[in-house]
Structure formats: C-alpha cells, structure tokens
Amino acid sequence: MRKFLSRTEVEALAAHALEAAARAGAWGADVLYSEGCANGLTLKDGEIEESTSGSSAGLGLRTILSDGRQGIAYGNRLDMASVDALVEWSLHNARASQPEDGVALYDGPLLRCEELELEDERIGALTAADRMEYCLEMTREARAADKRVVSVRSASWRDGWGASFFATSKGLAGWERGSSANCGVLVLAQSGEYTEMGGYGMDSLRLDELDAVKCARRAAAQTVAALGGSQLETGAYTIMIDPEAAAALVDVIGGLFCASDVLRGRSMMKGKLGEAVASSCVSLTDDGRIPWKPGSSSWDSEGVPTSRTELIKGGVATAYLYNLQYAAKDGSVSTGNCSRGMSSLPDVGTTNLILEPGESSPEELRSRIGRGMYVTEFMGLHTIDPISGDFSIGAKGHRIENGGITTPVSGVTMASNLLEFMKNIAAVGSDLTFSSSTAAPALVVDNVVIAGK
C-alpha cells in the first residue's frame, strides 16, 4: 500500500507551487491535492472474479493570468522538482488558452461546517475477510430468495476513504476527509421460456446504512418479478414512478439548472426563472450541507461555502446554481456549486438534489389509479435533449389495475417533452428515498403516452 505524504509535507508542496506560480507571472493560482485508498471484491456464483486494492495521490495546479486565461496541470509525482514542472505546464496551458470573463479566486475565508459527518472510521477498518463475508452472504441470500434465481452473476463490495487539501494564492487552505462503501448484486432468473437479468445496489458514507441481506433479496425479488414482461397497449396512461427511478429523472432535471449550461444556451431552463416549469406539487432543492450524504462538503472546489438553493418552489423555477465565474457573468453570487477535478477547470455541478416529499403514502397514491403503469426503471434518460426537452425513453415496471400492482411490463417507450412531463406531475409521495446524492419520493404523472403493442 502506498505511503502518503504527511499533511505538513503536502501543505509545503502546495505553498511552493503557489509561490512559484506567482514568481513566474501568474495573477493567481490554486492547488487541489487528493489522496485515497479503495478496495473491492466481486464473486460470481460464489467464486472470486475480481479482487482489487489500491491507493493514489495527486496534485492539480490551476494558474490564472490577468486577462482571464487559465490553465491546469496535474501529476502524481509529489516532490519539489515535479511541482516546478507542473507550474511550468500549467502556465504554458494558460498562455495557450483564450481569455474568459469572470475568472476569479474566492476572497472569503475557508469555513468548515462542523455539523457535517463525512467519514466513518469503521469503513477504513474493514478487512479482506469482512469483504468476503459480505459477498458470500449476498450470494447465499440471493440464491435462497427464490428458486427461479439460477445464477448470482455478481455479488460485489467496494469501500474506500479519501482526503483532499485545497489552497489558493489568496491565502485559503483547508483539509476535508470522507469515506464510502457500496454493495451490489446481479442475478439471472429463469422461469420456463422467460429469462431476466437484474440487480440492485446500495451505497452510503456510513457502514451501518448498508444492508447486504436486503440488497441481495431485493435484487432477486425485482428480477423475478420482471419475468414474463409484456407490452402495454399503446395509449395515454397515468404512471407511478418508483422513488429510485424518480431519482434518476431528478438527476437530469437538476443538471438543467447549472448556470454554465444555462448561459451557454444548453439548457431548456434558460430564461425560465419566475415561470412555472412543473406542477405546483413540485419543489426541488440542491443542498450541499446534509450530514452523511455523498454530495456534501464544507466548501466547493473554489473554497466557497456550500449552501441550500431552491431551484423549483411550488412548480416555479426560482434559481440557478453558480460557481464564481458564471455568477460574475450573470450578475449574481456563487451558490457554492463549483465542481472540478485535479485535472479539470472549474465548472458548475449539483451537490445533493432533493425533490421534496408530499403527505400521501405510496399506497394511497396508487389506490387512486384505475389503469396505469408502475415504473421501476427508465432506459436512456441520458438521451433527453437538454435544450428542447424532447425525449423518447424505454421503461420497465408493472401494470396498475384498480390500484393494485399486477403483471410485469417491458419493451415500452415513453415519448414526451420534459417540461410537459413535469407539469403533468399530479402528486408526490411521502416516501422520500435517497439514491446516492439524489432523493425523490414516488411520483404520479398523468397523461403519459406509452408506445407498446
């Protein structure tokens, strides 16, 4: 396992890089250092298919010239001579780039949010034997869940921890640490002439939030339930979307509020602030300060404190997400949503997206649907046109008949416009469920055209 530099050594390298950049003519500069360890194990039908363990560390340097040109260089050789080379390459890349408006460094203090919890020491203490037992347990439970499960194609466990250091030529400097783990099961189910492959996964920053048994049983149950799926007759239906499928859709919607895409004309939300973009039961927030969530941090990739931003309130678009550059371009202030890696320039990204829940249980919502579809999975959400909002995506799930979930549905397509779709959301459930850094409840959407048979 790689031996990492001490914090003192990392801070000295960062200070050296910033000072060298200033001497070489940079107007400003920042350093992002990252280190971490990752471990993984995958079994196929109880036999080891993949076992990995590794560590990495690296440093990225961004330099800014007085006219707004910026460049970045990244390396994983952490000594003074290598850092000097990074300074040279970063400035070379800056001088070869085009001037941009709004490029800046944050002037405020680097503030730690003491309420945030991002690291579980129990994850760092996991052993190879622990990972093997988790994978074997998932394999046993998936096989035992239903006799129609004929193969556990994958029972996997991943865990790791990471630390980062951020510093700027304005004097900001600070560390953050975090950990995470995830488990997943993929099974093959057969019944007569029907075969179905499916799975389920869980991830968390906390070890006690992962339930390997539940993961395996759900993977088996969902896959078996999909056996023998058939198409609905083509027509307009009321659909109910499972919270995890809804979260995948919310990810797409949240990305439309990133100012970098809005101001470039790459988002259908351009010019929509103050307008109704969804039904009145829809409220969407971006919140970078929720304890134990993957999108949380004390500050963003420019050192700006993270925050909570209401994107949609009662169906009305209320705000965009900004980093420093795009806030300056739009006459606004950063919302703490800068996103970047060690080898990439700052952009705008989401943190934790939350579609606010309603008051009705999913059972209550479903009981009101006489004829419809319960959607458990969307296919092709990435193909939604972010400018027009038009889409044609695949879906799987079950029929809803007189409020009850009945036979499986597959091979159907939903075609619509995202703005129209959002305005047709008739109800949101009380069952808010997190899927990684996105949370959503069940959604009921009226008048959805489904192409089937």
The 3-class SS string of 175-214 reads EEEEEEEEEEEEEEEEECCEEEEEEEEEEECCHHHCCHHH
Distance CA 414, CA 418 (A): 11
Q: Is the pLDDT assigned to residue 111 strictly greater than 60? A: yes
Two structure tokens written together for 18? 């910033």
Average pLDDT over residues 106-118: 92
Average pLDDT over residues 203-208: 96
User: Other CB atoms closer than 10 Å to residue 449's CB: what's the count?
Assistant: 12
Average pLDDT over residues 29-54: 98
Q: Which residues are 199's β-sheet partners?
A: 186
Contact 448, 236 (CB under 8 A): yes
State the pLDDT at residue 335. Answer: 98
Instruction: Sort strands 149-168 and 404-417 into parallel, antiparallel or unpaired.
Output: unpaired
For the chain, counts of helices (H) and of strands (E): 10, 20
Contact 418, 384 (CB under 8 A): yes
Amino acid code (one letter) for 7: R
State the pLDDT at residue 453. Answer: 85
Pick from 131, 219, 140, 136: nearest CA to 181? 131
Contact 39, 126 (CB under 8 A): yes
Q: Is the pLDDT assigned to residue 18 strictly greater than 90? A: yes
Distance CA 209, CA 265 (A): 40
State the pLDDT at residue 2. Answer: 64
Q: Is the dihedral of CA 19, 20, 21, 24 positive or negative?
A: positive
State the pLDDT at residue 1. Answer: 54
Contact 373, 245 (CB under 8 A): no
Average pLDDT over residues 266-285: 98
Mean pLDDT of the chain: 97
Distance CA 219, CA 203 (A): 14
Q: Is the pLDDT assigned to residue 188 strictly greater than 90? A: yes
State the pLDDT at residue 294. Answer: 96
Pick from 164, 157, 241, 243: nearest CA to 204? 157
Pick from 253, 274, 379: nearest CA to 319? 274
Pick from 250, 238, 274: nearest CA to 402? 238
